[in-house]
Amino acid sequence: GVSQNPRHKITKRGQNVTFRCDPISEHNRLYWYRQTLGQGPEFLIYFQGTGAADDSGLPNDRFFAVRPEGSVSTLTIQRTQQEDSAVYLCASSRQTRGFSPLHFGNGTRLTVT
């Protein structure tokens, strides 16, 4: 399945954090979402291969994600703020015309103190 690490991250405000996502190997599409308590996942960015097909969900320029070889992706948050505390979810899917089922990782829970 989709593997994310770390599972939990506690950091102090102002520090940088990086999360990793290993998608299912044959999946071309990779998505990052953010979920806060009681809310549905909120879109951040999605990749088709190595390129970011849509990064309109990134909240500001402190957030960026890469997928340099079209498989593993990392999401980095610079100068973390308390409002960044959330569960960061990664999902992948095959590239087909339209959509195919998503496969989610278990998420990385970020707590900014």
The reply to whether 29 sits near other proteins by the rule CB under 8 A is: yes
If the CB atoms of residues 78 and 103 are measured against other proteins, the closer one turns out to be: 103
If the CB atoms of residues 12 and 38 are measured against other proteins, the closer one turns out to be: 38
Place of tokens 């500001």: 60
8 Å CB contact between 25 and 17: no
- For residue 3 the two structure tokens come to 């593997």
CA dist 111 and 19 (Å) reads 13
The reply to whether 28 sits near other proteins by the rule CB under 8 A is: no
**In the window 34-73, what residues touch other proteins (CB under 8 A)?**
35, 38-43, 46, 48, 53-54, 56-57
